[in-house]
A and B are shown apart, each in its own frame.
Chain A
Amino acid sequence: MGETDIRAEVFQRVRKVVAEVLKIGEDQITLESRYQEDLKADSFDTLSLLVALEDEFDRTLEDEGSLQLATVGETVDFILSQGAQAAVG
């Protein structure tokens, strides 16, 4: 699986989780979407997103780093930085 494909798959799964937590349509979520400004996520949502992403990718996401992610794209990159192959394994 190429790097582009892996990034696309991780994005697809992140988008699914964000939609599930924030109860919005997946079509409203892009790589550029900002959690607070565009998707109206509050602090409780941020914690929920963290827990749900950990569940989705079956891994611990380093809390401090992940809580500072501002956009969906940054989340995708963060997960890829934690181990790209494992992320889609």
Chain B
Amino acid sequence: MRRRVAVTGLGVVSSIGASVEELWRACLAGESRVEPIPASWLDYADFASRLWSPLPEPDWDAWGLGRIERLQNDRTALLAMVAAFQALDAAGIGRESRDEKRNTFALKDVAPERTGVSLGTGIGGISSALRSTLHQALTRPKESLRALRGRLGDTGPGALELLDSTERRLQAPARANPFAVAMTMPNTATSALSIKLSILGSQRTHCAACASGTVALGHGYRSIASGETDLVLAGGVEYLDDDYGAIFHSFDLARTLVRDADPARANRPFDRARSGFLFSQGGGAVLVLEELEQARARGASCLAEVAGFAETSDAYNLMVMEPEGRQIARAVEGALADAGLRPEEIDYVNAHGTGTVANDETETSVLARIFGSRPLVNSTKSLLGHTLGASGALEAVVTVLSLQHQTTHVCRNLEEPIADLNFVRRVDSYPIRNALSQSFAFGGHNAALVFKRIPQGGPP
């Protein structure tokens, strides 16, 4: 018999909140963080999109992640650790020191062999890879430029200044990092988290571009449901920053990012005036998934049940969604069937809702076909921007909070909807029994999760 899976803890690091409480307050207030891209990037390219959602620096030291670990770990691994610590604290699972020198822990009253990690990431340790590459590629050429300057003497007005400015623009980390290989691996966050918490069961990294977080949660759920594990730390992480704006520029060149120059209005999923997605510097979310009976037996608070999951592939194009959304529909219907629910039993859909012209069109047509205009629909990306591989996990957190609190956030900047769906226009008390969270991705990944409400104070 398939075992039931509960969510017992949530943890997040996001542009609008470095804790679940901060994130939820900001969500209900409809807040967003949108700023001009760093001015230094403009030295290197002409950008069509000039806005992004920066991620405030977490207080690493407060989470026990000191200088040494920050030098040894990719930012995605650190984000995973902070989100996991929050989620475990919320789930009431303590940790005790295992190796003081390595700063590792063991989870209290949890069998490490029956515990797993399932994390999604779109591009893994790309920031570390770029830093390592830039250090090697530019360090000696910069030295050559400095040597050349010394030999030039009087070369006429402006020549030395030009040389100096060229040398300055070749930004590179001052030092090589011997941990670069480990920091660059796509599995770096998953593995670092497993080591940090002495977890001995399966550790899996799911690379499904913008659906990675949803896929990772789905496989975490299946691992527990099938009996492979009893507890899984599941979620997604992403960190997309470099001194040149190179990662941002790749998405800009693909014509996927917001074009509107007004920070207050640029990011507007499902609106007629939408122009692309808001690029986020990064973020992370981790959920504690637990076998339901075990969670109840230890007196844990069950926030929601993960009741269904399905994923499909478009087999269509690496960067373009199949316009009819046939495989998206099949993912949604598969997740509903897995949960044993009919479309009319879904009260809320946390949509992928990127804000790109084509994606929103396809997504709304699929939602209308399957659900009509009854369930509430919102886009958490209208607040957070797009965190790629972390987005599905952050949206799952918002979905669980919506079930728990029986309310949800608005679609920010939605003034003229592109479809006749029940978009959330105001924060109110909403009866939400079951909810769907869906993600689609470059590469043709489609994934959907179904969550059921668990009323506080007792079964079901």
Contact = CB atoms under 8 A, between A and B. Distances in A.
Interface of A: 20-23, 45, 47-48, 50-52, 54-55, 58-60, 63
B156 interface: no
17 contacts: A20-B68, A21-B68, A22-B101, A23-B100, A45-B101, A48-B68, A50-B178, A51-B71, A51-B72, A51-B175, A51-B177, A51-B178, A51-B179, A52-B67, A55-B67, A58-B174, A60-B176
Contacts of A54: 175
A60 B72 contact: no
B68 A52 contact: yes
Interface of A, secondary structure class, is helix
Contacts of A50: 178
Nearest to B66: A20
B101 A52 contact: no
A23 B100 CA distance: 7
Interface in B42-87: 66-68, 71-72
Given A22-B101, A47-B179, A60 B174 contact: yes
Contacts of B67: 20, 52, 55
A52 B67 CA distance: 8
Interface of B: 66-68, 71-72, 100-101, 103, 174-179
A62 B72 CA distance: 19
Given A20-B68, A51-B72, A58-B174, 15 more contacts: A20-B66, A20-B67, A22-B101, A23-B100, A23-B101, A23-B103, A48-B68, A50-B178, A51-B177, A51-B178, A51-B179, A52-B71, A60-B174, A60-B175, A63-B178
A55 B178 CA distance: 13
Contacts of B71: 48, 51-52, 55
Nearest to A54: B175
Contacts of B176: 60, 63
B178 A47 contact: yes
B138 to A, nearest CB: 14
B134 to A, nearest CB: 15
Nearest to B70: A55
Contacts of A47: 178-179
Contacts of B103: 23
A19 to B, nearest CB: 11
B27 to A, nearest CB: 37
Contact of A48 (B72, B100, B174): B72
Interface centre among A22, A45, A47, A48 (most CB of B within 10 A): A48
A38 to B, nearest CB: 15
Contacts of B179: 47, 51
Nearest to B71: A51
A51 B179 CA distance: 9
Contacts of A60: 174-176
A55 B177 CA distance: 11
A66 B67 CA distance: 20
Instruction: Sort A-B residue pairs by CB-CB distance and give the 7 closest, nearest first.
Output: A23-B101, A47-B178, A51-B71, A54-B175, A60-B175, A23-B100, A52-B68
Contacts of A23: 100-101, 103
A45 B179 CA distance: 12
A20 B103 CA distance: 11
Nearest to B174: A60
Contacts of A48: 68, 71-72
Contacts of A55: 67, 71, 175
